[in-house]
Amino acid sequence: MAMEGQAKESAAAAAEVDDKQLQEIVRSWMLQALSGEDIDRYRKLLSDLKNVDFDDPESVSGLAARIRALSQCVSIINERDHEMLLSLVFSMSFWSGSNELLDAIENLVVNLATSSGVLVPRCLDMLVRNFLPPSCGIKVHLDCYTQDRLARKKMTFESLKGLKPLHLSMKSDVVNRVHLALQRILELVPIAALRLHPIVQQRMPHRRVDKDWNSLFLENMLLLDSKRVSPAISSRMLLGIVDRLIEIDVEIAWEDILKDEDSSKVLVFHMDVDESDDKQAAPGSEAQLEHALAAHSGKKPLDEIADKMDHLMELVFEHLHQCAKNERLDEVYTTLMVSFKSTVLDTYKSKFTQFLIFYLCSLSPSSCGVNFAGFLCETFVTRSIPSNTRMSAAAYLASYLARANFLPLPVVLSSVSRLVNWCVSFTPTRFDVFKLTDTALHGVFYAACQAVMYILCFRLRELHADSTQRPLLKGLRLQQLIEHKLCPLKVCLPSVVEEFVRQATAIQLISYSGTVEPSSGFEVLSFKSYGGDNRLEMFFPFDPYLLRRSDRFIEPIFTHWSAAHSANEVEEQSSDEEEPVVEEEEVLDPDDLMEAEEEGYEHHDGGEEAFRNSLECMSITPPRMLPANLAQMLPMS
């Protein structure tokens, strides 16, 4: 045993001597190359680095030894004299080779970054390039050895992409190694943080690239945010992620979501619906899809792009959940609000990205949730803000207050009161008695009126049932609002107006005996310019969430419309105001959202009836945005 131990120690000592000798040899080659004494040795080093057989352990071990030697010589390496050497090093991969080799590459890259500020961007770029493996097939993410094998036809793109399962199985180890190297560089060279963001943005895969690669790159960006090595990096990563989500989001058309391409990916439509045949269409619904849906039922699969969006949203929701556990919500809220103000608020074809702020607010209702409602109110009433943005703020406020079941009732009522007072005090600067309404001129006013009515369609029952809020509710100047000379009941969405009038008259909040149908003398806004000037009928941003995987985060905090929660219940409450019944809402802990296993999570999916009502009940999903051949696109029952 003693002899075996001595033999091992001798071997280790010999290896150490060999390594030291090799370092001296490489250093000697470098010095000779710099002085022009022996350029052949420098060329030999380049050849040894380039020609490696990764199937031969000795060849890989030799490469690792040379790279370790180079790590000791970084002080004499420069771009002018050693560009070919640096190009080889910066095109190496963390996705192939032994741990010995990968350790050597990691140390060399870190040493190069700390030895010369000029090389910092290239070191960062090399690490960011390794966010994705060569099997992604994206040219800018291919390492030098893969490129060489492809060029010499020793590998095909098909065989390269066939390595995807292997590379995905290595994901955790490679990502940890890459981020450890990034963290070391950012700690040793603080200015590197300013260089990292543009490199990450430039390296992001195109939005049409496979969902697995988009997801992997986004995971790396979220990890940069989680590490918090620099505040500048954290905020910029989140902003970049939201921008990417918006790019994908606006490409998803409603007909894409309804395509029957993969029956394993199921679209979720949540609706508590009244099963009676004579049920009223819910407010906000103008879609008439009876003919298209008459002979079809079952689940509606997601399009590939929507499925990609679903995976990415799930990743970000999980990240926000972790931020809540790490007490970072205020910081993240500030960052997301920057993106919301600059990008999301005025992006009228966004269907899902806005739910990030919705979910974040649910994690901190008393802080983030209240602040978001206040921001939307303030944005709407600020006259210096463009009208289009103010109308968007009204739509967001209406949808948010109606759908967010985590918001305290006083917040809902105070926001409604502020809107009502603004509407009542609104005096048009131009008023043509021959054309009583001008939606282009007074669109902001009508957006506020519609927001008030839409919110109350959802929340009137709760507000009236609450003994504290009921007196304040009855103090709203709703009668003055509906009697305004701009005639909001004749201009706003008929379905919203009808439901509001039904509920408000049932508890005597207003007195109205006229028709809710728009008069021929009034111009009612339409869907014809989705995202254009006529926006009252365009959308409510927090309509039912249609993505299945990520819906597990939204479902517990989202209020679904039920036709049962309309006039009948309000009337019952009005007849028994002495002892109102207040339903207690379940307070959800963020950890609860992660406990439901994906396969076991049940959705409120009721086939044809649920699909029909998800589009027709309390939703402004534009019917003209749906394909004319919807009947042919839906799966046959």
pLDDT digits (tens, 9 = 90+) for 143-170: 999 999 999 999 999 999 999 999 999 9
Q: Is residue 510 part of a domain?
A: no
Round to whole Å and give the CA distance between 476 and 419. 10
Q: What is the domain extent for residue 83?
A: 12-203
Q: Is residue 31 part of a domain?
A: yes
Q: What angle do CA 616, 618, 620 make, to 5 degrees?
A: 75
Round to whole Å and give the CA distance between 37 and 315. 56
**pLDDT tens across 115-146, in order?**
988 999 999 999 999 999 999 999 989 999 99
Round to whole Å and give the CA distance between 109 and 323. 31
**Based on the structure, what is the number of domains in the chain?**
1
What is the structure's pLDDT at 167? Answer: 95
CB 296 within 8 A of CB 637: yes
Q: Is residue 521 part of a domain?
A: no
Handedness of CA 152, 155, 156, 157 (dihedral sign): negative
Q: Is residue 57 part of a domain?
A: yes
CB 284 within 8 A of CB 191: no
Strand positions, DSSP E, 76-204: none
What is the structure's pLDDT at 270? Answer: 31
Name the stretches of the chain with pLDDT < 50. Answer: 1-17, 259-280, 284-301, 433-435, 519-535, 563-564, 566-567, 578-588, 590, 593-616, 618, 620-637
Rg of the chain's alpha carbons, rounded to an integer?
31
Round to whole Å and give the CA distance between 319 and 58. 42
CB 568 within 8 A of CB 458: no
What pTM does this model have?
0.80
Query: The tokens of 582 are what?
Result: 């207040």
Strand partners, 300: 267
Enclosing H/E stretch for 538: none
Q: Tokens 């996705």 map to which residue?
A: 95
Round to whole Å and give the CA distance between 254 and 403. 21
**pLDDT tens across 3-26, in order?**
444 444 444 444 444 666 766 776
What is the structure's pLDDT at 87? Answer: 94
What single-letter DSSP state applies at residue 367? I
Q: Is residue 311 part of a domain?
A: no
Handedness of CA 7, 13, 15, 17 (dihedral sign): negative
Q: Is residue 84 part of a domain?
A: yes
CB 273 within 8 A of CB 619: no
Q: Is residue 545 part of a domain?
A: no
DSSP string, 558-605: BPPP-TTTTHHHHHHHHTTTTS---PPPPPPPTTHHHHS-TTT-----
